Amino acid sequence: MANMRPPQKSKLLKVVILGDGGVGKSALLTRFVSNRYEENNFHTIGVEFMNKDIVVDGEQYTLQIWDTAGQERFRALRTPFYRGSDICLLCYALDDRDSLRGLGLWRNEFLTYADVEADKFPFIVVGNKNDILPQKRQVSYESVQQWCAEQKIVSHIETSSKAATNVSDAFVLGLRQWKHMECVAEAELRHNGDTIDLTRPIRLVQRRLCCTGGGGAGDLDKDGNGDGDGYDAAMRTPSKKLFGQKRSAPKAPATNYRL
Ligand SMILES: Nc1nc2c(ncn2[C@@H]2O[C@H](COP(=O)(O)OP(=O)(O)OP(=O)(O)O)[C@@H](O)[C@H]2O)c(=O)[nH]1
């Protein structure tokens, strides 16, 4: 009887993973959601998505994570799914310098089709395969840091889906960046009081928690079993954004697509 608190509502965030074919986008998603790794993955065709519930800084989130096809020939199949995104992971592989060169193109493609403002959107740069031998590395951490600075991207992390290194941290980094940008947007709204959208009173009240978070990345998994590939009720009420999204951008359909 003691613990009768009503269940906390989960915020739904749409995350899109982009990058050249073979950098390990699908492996990253599989490791994060199911804690599995497969050596021989098929190329993704179009898009696929999976859900993952996590708790960060005491708040519950459902991440709806879209894995996209990195091959150019699937461009028309993947781009319609960029709209309504909250976070974008730009991936390259540490043993493939071309995949780093491609990041700018991926970012531009995303900005075009998601219709968001570059400097107000949470991009996370993810260098995958950091388990490789040092002699196989083609991309230095420093060179990517420099590229990120030029693009005004503040979040960069190296991961390994194979060795399960920093994979959850990459998604949490995205979430924290999203939260930070929401706080900034909220502060701007307060500052320009005359432009506050009065149709969103509930959303603004919810946002009081926004800047209060602390804690580390240790509180990730809500359920621990990581099998979040189901269609969650929360998906029918995706959250609205205060930042980044340009006006009148419709949400991508919340359906279980596998093209
Ligand atoms: N060494 C190492 N290899 C990895 C890692 N992640 C993925 N790979 C390898 O890279 C291959 C490609 O991984 P995928 O996840 O299919 O790559 P993708 O980016 O989804 O590729 P597309 O579907 O074509 O866009 C896999 O078959 C693995 O062999 C990693 O962390 N370390």
Three-state secondary structure readout of 104-136: HHHHHHHHHHHCECHHHCCEEEEEECCCCCHHH
Phi/psi of residue 160, each to 5°? -140, 115
Pocket of ligand 1 (CB under 6 A): 19, 21-27, 39-41, 43-44, 69-71, 128-129, 131-132, 160-162
Half-sphere exposure of 59 (CA within 13 A, CB side): 20
Distance 43 CA to ligand 1 centre (A): 9
Tokens of 104: 């700018």
Q: Which residue in 2, 47, 1 sits closest to 26, CA to CA? A: 47
pTM: 0.78
Tokens of 128: 């995958």
Q: Which CATH class is domain 11-179?
A: alpha beta
Ligand 1: which residue has its CA nearest to atom 2? Answer: 129
Q: What is the pLDDT of residue 34?
A: 96
- For range 102-121, the mean pLDDT: 94
Q: What is the pLDDT of residue 73?
A: 87
Burial class, 199, CB count within 10 angstroms (exposed 0-12 / middle 13-18 / buried 19+): exposed
Q: What is the pLDDT of residue 204?
A: 40
Give the ligand 1 atom nearest the CA of 42. 16
Say if residue 258's pLDDT is above 90: no
Ligand 1: which residue has its CA nearest to atom 12? Answer: 22
- pLDDT of 135-161, one tens digit each? 999 999 999 999 999 999 999 999 999
Ligand 1: which residue has its CA nearest to atom 1? Answer: 129
Ligand 1: which residue has its CA nearest to atom 32? Answer: 129
Provide the pLDDT confidence category of residue 231 given band limits of 50, 70 and 90: very low
Provide the pLDDT confidence category of residue 47 given band limits of 50, 70 and 90: confident
Say if residue 24's pLDDT is above 50: yes
